[in-house]
Structure 1
Amino acid sequence: IVVHLAMLAWMLTLPWPVAVSVLRRISAPVLSIFPLATALVGLLLENEEVRRRAEERLEASEARYRDLVETAQDLIWECDAQGRYTYLNPAWEEVFGYRLDEMLGKPFTAFQRPEQAERDRERFARLLQGETVKGLETVHLAKDGREIHLVVNAKTFHDAQGRPAGTRGTAYDITERKRMEAQLRESEEKFRLAFRYSPDAITISRLEDGMFLEANEGVTRILGYTPEEIVGKTSMELGIWADLEERAEAAERLRREGRVENLEMPLRRKTGEPVIGLLSASVVTLGGEPCVLTVTRDVTEAKRQREELEKVSRSLQDLLENMSDAFVALDRNWRYTYVNKRAGELLGRNPEDLLGKHIWTEFPEGVGQPFQRAYERAMNEGIFIQMAEYYPPYGRWFENRIHPTKEGIAIFFTDITEQKEQEQELRRLNEELELRVAERTAALEAANRELEAFAYSVSHDLRAPLRAIQGFAEIIADRHRDALDEEGRRYFDYIIEASHNMARLIDDLLAYSRLGRSAVERKPVDLGAVLERVLQTLAPRIAAEGAVVRLEGEFPQVLADAGLLERALVNLVDNALTYHEPGVPARVEVFCEPQGDEVRIAVRDHGIGIDPRFHEKIFDMFQRLHQTDAYPGTGIGLALVKKAARLLGGTCGVESEPGKGSTFWITVPRNGGLDG
């Protein structure tokens, strides 16, 4: 048609005669070929339309396929013959966390653990050989390291020459299913272990006839039957129930409600011994058959203890009701949970009427009182408080003992008004007594001073006649001793010895009376230096008797009157040199022991020792435990030590047993450490 039209257009450009001539020459051939050309052109046009429509359908099909693949939740993939990914749909990004460009071009084994990759390489090789894979489970690794469990379906595709070119297929993620399967297995294992090893007796029986189908080892512990002994039998056959009526009621309730809980049932062991079981049961369906799952706990001992506790509770309640103290218990909302009879009497209320009531609503006059503050502190801080206060609203004194409890507080309270009045009267009497004692003490101190003055005066005045007696006795002894017979000489020796003893006694009395007459001056004193002077004073006696006196350790500075302290220590060391076994030289150690703010100076001997009954007595004036002819002395030395210790602000004492020596000690205030 196009050609004809082109020819006609061309002829129209020719001169008319020429155009007519050309038309005459070609008309016959053109007219003869035109139908064939027209048919041929029509056929070509029809084929072109068919091809165009086929292409459109193909494009639509490819678009549908692409949309299905791109939007599919399943994983769609294609690998080359080396196992490298050549195509992955977007679902891979969602499941694995990788971008597609991070996975394409890499072998599938790059996303597996080595041991899994080795297994899947072998499967891939068989797949290339023509084997089809369906439902293969494998494991890949996500970008974050998680294991992704997949089920894979795959087949091989070939190139134009028919050679295996790769594989393609689908996969879907079963990771969640695997996790749930693992949880289910773990749960089943836990149930199996719980069923088997539970201390409770667990059984499964048919609802229809009660035949036991399963039993755990708890049945043996509680009832004495092995699981093998009860499976295939009923509880009625075994005679487990001690009370058939209770059993029938429980069974009826189970059929009606489908479950029973915490029923205390009397049972019998295999031996016939009674046992109390706490039973819970539920109707369950196992294998399409109604069954009963029963759990029984042995509460025999627990019930006995509960009954014992109830008995104790009743006894405690009886005690609380009959005690002389009032008692109330409050919860944390300040409501009464218990009020005993005595509390009701003191509060002027019926105890039952107070239960559940708010304390400050019932007794608003108590708000702001010291008792309220003490109650709140005991409850908030969880501490015990004991207090005694005057309660103005009642005009009486009450003692409260407030104990914190888990539930709130428990309060014991007593009316102590009469006791307080007695205390006030006693306080008044004590004040009068103290005044009288002070007066008597002053009088006694004055008498003591007069006595000391008298002793000083007497001992001083006795010195002159005693010196005369001693002087004349010595003259007679020198000039006229031979004129006396033996008995006279013996009596005369008694006179001389008695005069010497009297002289020592007077000296000791003078020393005792002088002690403290002058002001006691306490100041830092080097104890070591004082002890050195003591040893110098006693050196002649120590040497004469062959005694050994050692100063052990270090001696600190003390706060004392040096002369007074030296006098006391001379007496203690002299005493230690005196009381030793006859014929055995004395051994004495002097040491000190810091005791807080004081220093204890001790003198230890290895002599005859002292009975503990006399430990205090020997520090009194003129107290001696031995005859003068055995151990000389006046009985004043230790009394002087006691007085000196008191004047120095310390104490004295002795530690001794007969035959084990003695340790006399005196304490004085400390001044500094061992380094002075």
Structure 2
Amino acid sequence: MISGSRQRYIVLACLAYVCLALAWIFLSDQWLASFMDLQAVVWLSSAKGGFFVLVSGLGFYFVLQGVPSAVGETTDYFSLSDVFTAHRAPHWLAYLIAVLLVVSIQIVYVRINTVFDNAPLMILFMLPVILSALFGGLGPGLLATVMAAGAGAYNMPPSGHLVIGNLANLFHWGLLVFNGLTISLISEAMHASRKREIRRRLQLEDALLELSDSEAQFRRLFQEAPVAMALVDRAGDIPAQNAHFELLFGYSKSELKCLADWWPRAYPDPVYREQVKSEWGVALRRSAKSTGQPQGSEYRIVCKDGSERVVQIYGISLLDGLLFTFLDVTESRKAEQRLKLWAESFERAQVGLIISDARNNTISSVNPAFAQERGYSCDEMIGMSVSRLFPSERQDDIRHLLQALNEKPHVVFESEHVGKEGNRFPVLIDISVLRDQQQRPLNRVAFVIDLTERKRAEQALSAAQAHSSNQQARARLAILNQMQDANVARLRAETALAALKESESRIKLFIDYAPASLAMLDRDMRYLACSRRWLDDYQLGDRELFGLSHYDVFPDINENWKTIYSRGMAGEIVRADEDRFIRRDGQERWLCWEIRPWYLDTGAVGGIVIFSEDVTARLMAKQALRNSEARMRVLIGTIPDLICLKDLQGVYLLCNSALRRLMGKGEAEIVGRTDYDLFDAEQADFFRGNDLRALEAGGPVINEEWLTFAEDGYRGLFQTVKTPVTNDSGEVLGILAIARDITLLRQAEEKLRIVNANLEERVAERTSELEVLNQSLESFVYSVSHDLKAPLRGIEGYSQLLKEDYGQALDDDGRFFVANIRSGVERMGELIDDLLAYSRMERRKLDSLKLDLAVVVEQALKEKAEEITANGVEILTDLSSVWVQADINGLSLVMRNLLENALKFSAKSQPPRVEIAFRLTDDQVIVLIADNGIGFDMMYHDRIFEIFQRLHRLEDYPGTGIGLALVKKAMQRMGGEVWAESEPGQGARFFLQLPVAKLAE
């Protein structure tokens, strides 16, 4: 298909040929006839015809060389509006040449017209018309045509007038005008076509340059992408993989040359491998037919180090292969499991849990157990003031207590809570305070235990004390037995020392296999012998200690021990029953030790013998016994239910305050009586029947009954458990009855069922709404990016054309205005990009990965290497390998912005210098980015991180005012912190705080 430009050019060339041929045919014969006879004219007509064919053929050869290449069908046709436009600059030289050519031909005509018998010779005037049109286009061609037509009319008889005398001359004159107009239009069309061809060739070159830049940018984005990516060609080879791929899986490009290398390493299980291959074959065929966003699949991939990662894989079909993207979601899945576990634990915990806001002392969250104990639903308690949980007379105390809690990390105390119905009950409260990065109180987490049962069980404590005393006696007996064993061991050691004088071999054998840690040293504290138990207890392995100094074996021994050894050398027996000792591995142990001198035959002290025994387990058992007794006392004193203890005849032995409230009597009126003395016969028979059933069953008997309290008329549903009480020999001593009020529990169960049903419906509705909102937000961001940038691209393009085409026609002010327009467009584009980046940072999902901080910093320096070299910036770095927990994209953005900030504000220093260093503090990493630039006043240290805030003029230091705000937002999203320190003229120091990544050992 011939393009529009080529077709028009050929048509115009043909029209030019027709015009020239007509002019030659009609005008040349007239010219020849003016000075030759008719026969010569006929001969010359044949000659000039052949000459015209030869010349026109040669002309067509050169003309068709300029036929433009095929361009788009949308090329505009030539029109007069392309010529007569207000902004077209006149070509004065072309017009001047047209005038001079016509005048020159008129002068030639005046000189030779007598030779041709005053013939008009119109063919002579075609020459200036053709040359003017070819040189200058339409305007000069028309000017030459008008002047030639006027000169021809002036030269025609009667000469000297513009009146044409006969029809033949009028025909020749009209042919001259027609040919001149046609040639002028054709020449202008050729000029316009040539300009369009040059313009399109330049546009094509620009497009090729943009394509080359786009390809380079794609390669850069591929290598620097924050996710692992790999290219696979049609043959199954892997020609490229980015740095994040090697960082994630550990395989370099040389190790993975094709898919045959990848499959057995990433999926060592053959069954799972075939499953993945099958699923991905189907997915890739589906994605090749689909034009939508590729769907990812989640698989387990084994890395080079043997670790397993959960990865989402996305495959995109390309012209020459496939592009795979690997998104590591291992930590996300683990975090989801942990979050689910904690949420279930919080909801299902039987202990009351509450989280409150430390700033306004309101309840943020409670678990069902806490709400049910107080007669509320969980939703009712959200936002409630913490003080409402306490009695009105204790409000001042509680207010002071909450203020004091802000200064303490943890506190445990007893108090009293008030339920929804006004009922009071004692509680044990364990509060921990959570703080923010500035150590300001943020939330309080409290475990609340209902102590009602303990208060009601105080009367039952005496019955349990006998059993507790027996346990204490047995524990003391066990301790005495252990002490006796230790004494026996020491006695055996002393006997063995005495026998040492008789048999060295027997004492060595005894020492080796002594049941206690034993060591024998001379007066120089050098080892003569030690037991295997000594080597084991002090973690010395199989080391041979004979002849070694005790101080060389234990180089960190303190002066206190040296004093004790000196006392032993002086003949004193030194001992301790419980002494704290830190082992080589850092464990804390408790020792019972004794140091005795041993004597030579002369009676002089020959050295010392050290006996030691690890009594850590014994002390822990004693402590456990004490803790058990304490817990028992707390338990009996905090049971919230109705409790009573009866003997086998049904006589009350003890009762708690709740039971007394039920009966409306004092303890003295209840103890020593039976149910028949306290209730009517029918109810007494019911209670006694349950007692007898428990005795017959030999175990707990549970029943539910409605009880009415005599004291306040309260009526509720109670669950009663009656259990026989036995001694160590199994003899039944009485009956223990515990009744718990389950009225609110039954009501809460019904409410919970209704709330759960409503909650599931609300969650489904909210989830649907959030999905719609997220989709709307994505569409809005795309629309903002497109709609804001489209006008800027138009302004930038037209200002560029104005600068290139008419820059010379503009004065200095005009060029200055054009430069300001382009600068403003560039700043507006940067501002839009920064605003969109800020918006994305606020809402996009971050991937918390383990990142090598040194690698991220080196990458940022590499990106700015050209600017650093050009400006002679001195870079000081201390890039030891430190791993942090952060989002790779967010951390890279932070480093780039801070480095750009340092380079910008230190550019005028001599020489400019930027320092980057790391510092570890516990589980945090502090990153320093410092420069020797102009600095700033610390009174603005918070303002610089706010959006659109600047401390300097835009003309001095360009920028959008969003960079540092974007840094702060990224650090907040990654759980980090950023701050700055500076003095005017002393440079600026920016600090980043990030959590240290916990690497698997």
TM-score scaled to structure 1, two decimals?
Answer: 0.34
TM-score scaled to structure 2, two decimals?
Answer: 0.24
